[in-house]
Amino acid sequence: QVQLKESGGGSVQAGDSLTLSCGASRPIFSNNGMGWWRRAAGKEREFVAAMSWNGGRTYYADSVKGRFNISRSRNTLTLKMYDLQIEDTAVYFCAASRSAVPSTTSTSAYNYWGQGTQVTVSS
């Protein structure tokens, strides 16, 4: 069993930046693909960004490409968010993939999830 915990959410204005972090209860980042997903109020959870097990490949949703950056250190998965827009408002979740290459389309491909951290962007 692995516990994931996100931090760094908050309320910002459009155009601002924010960095989310995700810590794990045991070292898994070097073995599993990792991802960030988000869920806006009244919507389904959607893919945001992901990284393969060795960090060799990264994946981004079109809506955040060029504005968000996923990275990791030994024990922390990070999502740096720049030029935030109102439509980025959501609860953001860190997730560990069942495999080395993370899915960009299926939440069921992830077997561990954090509890989420709220990001609110206002005009």
pLDDT, tens digit, 9 for 90 and up, residues 63-96: 999 999 999 987 899 999 999 999 999 999 999 9
The separation between the first and the last C-alpha atoms of the chain, rounded to the nearest angstrom, is 40
pLDDT in tens, 16-59: 999 999 999 888 777 889 999 999 999 999 999 999 998 889 99
Query: In this structure, what token pair is assigned to residue 84?
Result: 């935030």
Pairing state of beta strands 4-7 and 46-51?
Answer: unpaired
Q: If residue 121 lies in a helix (H) or strand (E), which one and from where to where?
A: strand 117-122
Length of the chain: 123
Sequence-distant (6+) residues with CB within 8 A of 108 are none
